[in-house]
Structure 1
Amino acid sequence: MSITELERVALTPEEIYAAGGITVHKVGELIGARIDGVHLSGDLSAETAYAINYALAAHKVVFFRGQQHLDDVSQYEFAGTLGTQTTTHPTLKSADNKLLVLDGAASSWHTDVTFIDRIPKASILRPTTIPEYGGATTWASTTAAYNQLPHSLKVLVENLRAVHTNAYDYAEVVDKVKQGSSQRVTNYGEFTREIYETEHPVVRIHPATGEKTLLLGHFVKEFVGLKPSESVALFQLLQARVIKLENTVRWAWEAGDLAIWDNQATQHYGVSDYGTQARSVHRVTLAGDVPVDVHGESSRIIKGDASEFSIVADIERLPGFAAN
């Protein structure tokens, strides 16, 4: 069924999902939903793609089961129905510069690629090697975390900015057992072969929903105007609120799974609890916009040009969401 933009404004979420031929089942109160009824591909109808994007904005991370037919090509093509794909990464490259292959788990809470100005809108992750046990991924809602702040903290963080960089915390977040390996040293060298620094608002306005959400994670170097010790203390206080268990959802991977998360409203953490087993996932990211704070001020580039990684996307504002 073809629906005009004007007609969409009057639809309930359930009607949007029905028009797209999908069903959406919550897996957590504040974050996470499973989407059924769709065979993912690059040939999705506009209604189905819109419904998936809407569910993503509503639930922050969505999961699909039974997508064993997907390979690198079809995963990339499917991603293109939801937005404009970026290249692999600002510094990490792959053979085709489309999908990023990640072996192991990033055992630290982060939002993807926040050290550039144009933070990706979303990430699409497909497991290719799943350990016999362990290796789950956990997501946290940074929108829920903002909503739960007391008024005094909201006033503080709405007027605060932070410097994010790829040269700050990466060496600290790797598995300590593997930290001394030559492969890790090589990875760190590649990760920092070009240095990026960007000043972002700590509270950004979500471009699709109008909601306020915290912009933090392990690429934060410091808060502007605060001493290093003050930055550390405030970062720990805010991060503790983001990753409160009630704000999270944990997904144990199965063959045929695919996850999409709203990179504008979440952090995530790959759990390294699978010993020496192999674990590999393939990721495509979608172009996002430049964050804007509650005063209408945009993020500011300090160092690095991310234009080869991604365009600055024009994110569609979705109906039915109330500003928090």
Structure 2
Amino acid sequence: MSLDIRKVTATIGAQVLGADLSRPLAPEEVAAIREALDVHKALVFDDVDLDDEGQQAFARHFGDLTTAHPTVGAVDGAPNVLPVDSERGRANHWHTDVTFVLNPPQASTLRSITVPPYGGETLIASSAAAYRDLPEPLRRLADTLWAEHTNDYDYAVPDEEIDAERAAQRARFTSIKYRTVHPVVRVHPLTGERGLFIGGFAQRIVGLSAGESRKILDLLQAYVTRPENVLRWRWSPNQLVLFDNRITQHYAIDNYDGQPRRLHRVTVAGDVPVGVDGKESYSIEGDASHYTPVATPDPAPVAA
């Protein structure tokens, strides 16, 4: 094994060279990739020779797979693969994948299928760096907050752009309504790091009005999306990006003039988030058992 891990920015992101993802990985390779993911939050693999089955096999090295999505259809014949296709909507809003369910995915893989000649980058932000950036009074406040996450709106289709086709997309997206309460500060189960666990599906702070909630969420979100905390990745053909969905957010930039852009996403089942007080997230509405099993992570080390 000769993996070469090269940082892309000081805060988030690394390229991984020397890994042949088209074959089963040795345990020491999986451990090295997992360690790099814990450190860098997002990993990029170039020149991957993978089809949908190969992408799923790679993702399975890190745990059981979810199905493609709780409410959105999968690739034909591949129930664990979600087509991230510009023709089906554009996720140009900051979010963490599927946080409206009780146990969102622990990790996401994205593989480039069709890349526009320009634009179409994916931004990935470190919510751990955002938490570290908070002034101490804000950090103490955030540690105590819980937020309700819901899919009862479509982050990929703004209200002002709704037409009949997009109204149908929205209806599919919300065909099962989910409401789940997560800690605003999540403790990572493997590293013990704290990160801001918010993003586009977080709609209300428990105990506060919608207006008050929005002000606080916007304030905290501004730390997540600081340029210093963001990896801006320009896609090339045959690339795969693996990111830790427990401690990042991402955003697909709609800057490619409506040209075709398609990625395939495969996600790894996650655990139930835990806050700094040791309490777990809880569900208010919606059963996601058809979408994801609940992972049981190794105990986190004691944070310094």
Shared fold by TM > 0.5?
A: yes
AA aligned to 1:70 is: L
Is structure 2 residue 24 aligned with structure 1 residue 43? Answer: yes
In the alignment, the residues of structure 1 paired with residue 282 and residue 272 of structure 2 have an alpha-carbon distance, to the nearest angstrom, of: 9
* SS of corresponding position for 2:170: helix
Q: Paired residues, what number?
A: 299
In the alignment, the residues of structure 2 paired with residue 143 and residue 71 of structure 1 have an alpha-carbon distance, to the nearest angstrom, of: 32
Is structure 2 residue 219 aligned with structure 1 residue 237? Answer: yes
* SS of corresponding position for 1:127: strand
AA aligned to 1:162 is: A
Is structure 2 residue 63 aligned with structure 1 residue 83? Answer: yes
- Kept in 2: contact 1:107–1:174 (CA 8 A): no
Identity of aligned residues (%): 43
Structure 1 residues 219-270: Cα deviation after superposition (integer angstroms, max 9, x where no partner): 0110011122111111111111110000001010001110001000100000
The 1:108–1:143 alpha-carbon spacing in structure 2 relative to 1, beyond 3 Å, is same
The aligned residue for residue 272 of structure 1 is 254
In the alignment, the residues of structure 2 paired with residue 80 and residue 215 of structure 1 have an alpha-carbon distance, to the nearest angstrom, of: 24
AA aligned to 2:120 is: G
Deviation at 1:174, TM superposition (A): 2.7
The aligned residue for residue 247 of structure 1 is 229
The aligned residue for residue 163 of structure 1 is 148
The aligned residue for residue 291 of structure 2 is 309
* SS of corresponding position for 1:153: helix
In the alignment, the residues of structure 2 paired with residue 255 and residue 268 of structure 1 have an alpha-carbon distance, to the nearest angstrom, of: 20
Deviation at 1:93, TM superposition (A): 2.2
Q: Which runs of 5+ in 1 are unaligned?
A: 1-19
Deviation at 1:182, TM superposition (A): 3.1
- Kept in 1: contact 2:103–2:273 (CA 8 A): yes
Is structure 2 residue 284 aligned with structure 1 residue 291? Answer: no
Is structure 2 residue 46 aligned with structure 1 residue 60? Answer: no
What is the aligned counterpart of 1:142 among 121, 127, 133?
127
- Kept in 1: contact 2:157–2:170 (CA 8 A): no
* SS of corresponding position for 1:213: strand
The aligned residue for residue 100 of structure 2 is 115
In the alignment, the residues of structure 2 paired with residue 270 and residue 258 of structure 1 have an alpha-carbon distance, to the nearest angstrom, of: 15
Deviation at 1:176, TM superposition (A): 7.3
What is the aligned counterpart of 1:131 among 116, 125, 140?
116
The aligned residue for residue 183 of structure 2 is 201
The 1:302–1:32 alpha-carbon spacing in structure 2 relative to 1, beyond 3 Å, is same
AA aligned to 1:301 is: S
What is the aligned counterpart of 2:245 among 263, 268, 284?
263
- Kept in 2: contact 1:42–1:79 (CA 8 A): no
The aligned residue for residue 4 of structure 2 is 23
The aligned residue for residue 212 of structure 1 is 194
Structure 1 residues 278-301: Cα deviation after superposition (integer angstroms, max 9, x where no partner): 000100000110001111100010
In the alignment, the residues of structure 1 paired with residue 203 and residue 249 of structure 2 have an alpha-carbon distance, to the nearest angstrom, of: 16
- Kept in 1: contact 2:97–2:104 (CA 8 A): yes
Matches within 5 A, 1:1-16: none
Is structure 2 residue 189 aligned with structure 1 residue 189? Answer: no
The aligned residue for residue 174 of structure 1 is 157
In the alignment, the residues of structure 1 paired with residue 191 and residue 207 of structure 2 have an alpha-carbon distance, to the nearest angstrom, of: 30
In the alignment, the residues of structure 1 paired with residue 162 and residue 101 of structure 2 have an alpha-carbon distance, to the nearest angstrom, of: 28
AA aligned to 1:89 is: H
Deviation at 1:322, TM superposition (A): 7.2
After TM superposition, which residue ranges in structure 1, 4 or more long, deviate above 4 angstroms?
none
Deviation at 1:130, TM superposition (A): 0.4
- Kept in 2: contact 1:64–1:259 (CA 8 A): yes
Deviation at 1:160, TM superposition (A): 0.6
In the alignment, the residues of structure 1 paired with residue 219 and residue 31 of structure 2 have an alpha-carbon distance, to the nearest angstrom, of: 36
In the alignment, the residues of structure 2 paired with residue 322 and residue 253 of structure 1 have an alpha-carbon distance, to the nearest angstrom, of: 37
Deviation at 1:308, TM superposition (A): 1.3
Deviation at 1:21, TM superposition (A): 2.9
What is the aligned counterpart of 1:70 among 29, 50, 53?
50
Deviation at 1:128, TM superposition (A): 0.4
Q: Return the TM-score normalized by structure 2.
A: 0.94
Report which stretch shifted further, 80-89 or 25-34. Answer: 80-89
- Kept in 2: contact 1:61–1:259 (CA 8 A): yes
AA aligned to 1:174 is: V
* SS of corresponding position for 1:312: coil
In the alignment, the residues of structure 1 paired with residue 266 and residue 194 of structure 2 have an alpha-carbon distance, to the nearest angstrom, of: 25
